[in-house]
Amino acid sequence: MYLIGETTHGHHQIEMACNACHTSAFGGPEVIQSACIDCHGEELELAKDSHPKTKFSDPRNADRIDILDARYCVTCHKEHNEEIAGDMGLTLPEDYCFRCHEDIGEERETHKDLPFDSCASAGCHNYHDNLALYEDFLLKHADEPDFKHPAVTPARTKLATLAAVRNFAIMTSDQVHADVALDAIAGQEELVAQAHHDWSQSQHAHTGVNCLTCHAAEEGEAVEDDNNVTVLGLQTSNWVEKPSYEVCQKCHTDQVDGFLLGKHGMRLAHSLSPMKVSDAKIMMKTEAGHEELDCMSCHSAHRFDTVAAATDSCLTCHDSEHVNNYWGSPHGKLQQEVLAGVRATEEGVTCATCHMPRIEVSIGDSQIVMVNHNQNENLRPNEKMIRPVCMKCHSLEFSIDALADDELIESNFTGQPQQHIRSIDMALERDAKTNRTDKAY
């Protein structure tokens, strides 16, 4: 009733959680500002934000704030005004970079005759995240082949390794306890048999994650068995029919954290009902309208098959040109060869390779490779995909050109990029002329 207009595509799912942003009725602009920072601060920091608030608190830049008060997020990202919101919830006219950088043509010969509204064109600069676009990075990767050898994504780290590094126990048991399911849901022998069959071929069965680990309502006490393996003192009563993501969280915290940050899980993160496919703002298959999002949307109990999760599951819901062109693309064909067993898994390119990449993180002294379950983290601006994804297999230049080509994205990368972004050429030109001695690459 009090909502003054439609909330932007980024936040539409949590529109009804007013106090996620309006944390207090008092306090003025700082209240909303700190809400933005609470949810987005870390991601901007990791992206080494090129225009952080501190830049504008510097007295030497005070004149710029008169032009545009860039200390506040809402100067550029207003809310409840979907009509004026462009890509990424931006509510500013496109030539706004020029208002602060009008003398760039004098400073840099390469920029002399560029149009005012071209600074933030695809592949040139972003306002926040320039991790794949800054000058030294362009120079460092100037001479790479379009197709690298080997062209592979890294292998995932085993959970046991992560558990050892993080110092937590994976509670397992030698007993299957499927009989408890039979007692609990009497008359459903087939369902139980199917569950048992699927489960017995899964990684969970191989590692002793049994029926009650997920289906027991209450966790019993942890006890050590004769082989010093920690097992649950299992409760045989209170069979939970549909275990929620909170059960998975016991062992897969990173995946759950990521899931809750993106559009698949953001409603659950705010204690709202799960996202329903029919409430989506982007193209979805109508027959999936009733589906609600959780871990099982992609992993389906009880096989937990990660290969099907990486392509087939997505296609049950998503429905744009881009999505539907996937299997016919060169990447889709590579993946078919993986499925046919004539290529190594790591050479394949799935929907998940780009949208849920395997990321390398350092925990203590260990390098861990895990799947990023926030499929929005690298989506926009799309240059965020360059470093963690494309550059595993392609050159920087090829990646920049490909991602700047909207038609190529629509065809799901079928064919060569049809335009060339001159960023690397310009960096090389300037480098050759200035003879810089402070090269950091």
Residues 406-425 that bind ligand HEC (CB under 6 A): 408-409, 412-413, 415-416
Amino acid type, 132: A
Q: Which residues of 240-253 are buried (b: 16+ CB within 10 A; e: fewer)?
A: eeebebebbbbbbe
Q: Please give the radius of gyration of the chain, using alpha carbons only, rounded to the nearest integer.
A: 25
Give the binding range for ligand HEC (CB under 6 A) out of 86-94, 136-144, 222-230, 431-439: 86-94
Short-list 357, 346, 413, CA closest to 384: 357
Pick out residues in 55-74 that bind ligand HEC (CB under 6 A): 55, 61, 64, 67-68, 70, 73-74
> Count of residues binding ligand HEC (CB under 6 A)?
165
Of 142 and 301, nearer to ligand HEC (C-beta) is: 301
Q: Within 133-262, where are the H helices?
A: 135-140, 159-166, 178-184, 189-200, 203-206, 211-215, 245-248, 253-261
Q: How far apart, in whole angstroms, are the C-alpha atoms of residue 357 and residue 46?
A: 17
Binds ligand HEC (CB under 6 A): choice among 123, 138, 264, 267: 264
Binds ligand HEC (CB under 6 A): choice among 138, 139, 216, 251: 251
Query: Minimum CB separation from ligand HEC for residue 218, in Å?
Result: 14
Query: Minimum CB separation from ligand HEC for residue 226, in Å?
Result: 20
Binds ligand HEC (CB under 6 A): choice among 127, 138, 421, 426: 127
Query: Minimum CB separation from ligand HEC for residue 143, in Å?
Result: 19
Give the binding range for ligand HEC (CB under 6 A) out of 110-118, 170-178, 223-231, 430-438: 170-178
Pick out residues in 3-32 that bind ligand HEC (CB under 6 A): 3-4, 10-11, 13-18, 20-22, 29, 32
One character per residue 359-398, x = contact with ligand HEC (rule: CB under 6 A): -----------xx-x-xx--xxxx--x---xx-xxx----
Peptide bond into 52 cis (omega under 30): no
Amino acid type, 164: A
Residue 291 as a binder of ligand HEC (CB under 6 A): the answer is yes
Binds ligand HEC (CB under 6 A): choice among 138, 204, 395, 423: 204
Note the residue count of the chain: 441
Binds ligand HEC (CB under 6 A): choice among 141, 234, 299, 426: 299
Residue 39 is encoded by which pair of tokens? Answer: 């949810």
Of 18 and 433, nearer to ligand HEC (C-beta) is: 18
Of 235 and 316, nearer to ligand HEC (C-beta) is: 316
How many of the other CB atoms lie within 10 Å of CB of 324? Answer: 14
Residue 285 as a binder of ligand HEC (CB under 6 A): the answer is no
Of 127 and 137, nearer to ligand HEC (C-beta) is: 127
Short-list 265, 244, 246, 315, CA closest to 13: 265
Q: How far apart, in whole angstroms, are the C-alpha atoms of residue 241 and residue 224?
A: 27
How many of the other CB atoms lie within 10 Å of CB of 161? Answer: 12
Short-list 387, 340, 346, CA closest to 46: 387
Pick out residues in 302-361 that bind ligand HEC (CB under 6 A): 302, 304, 306, 309-311, 313-318, 320, 322-323, 326, 330-331, 334, 347, 349, 351-356, 358
Give the binding range for ligand HEC (CB under 6 A) out of 108-116, 222-230, 238-246, 432-440: 238-246
Contacts of 388 (CB under 8 A, 6+ apart): 357, 359, 372, 378
| Partners of 222 in the β-ladder | 232
Residue 138 as a binder of ligand HEC (CB under 6 A): the answer is no
Of 158 and 166, nearer to ligand HEC (C-beta) is: 158
Q: Which residues of 38-76 are buried (b: 16+ CB within 10 A; e: fewer)?
A: eeeeebbeeeebbbeeeebeeeeeeebeeebebbbbeeb
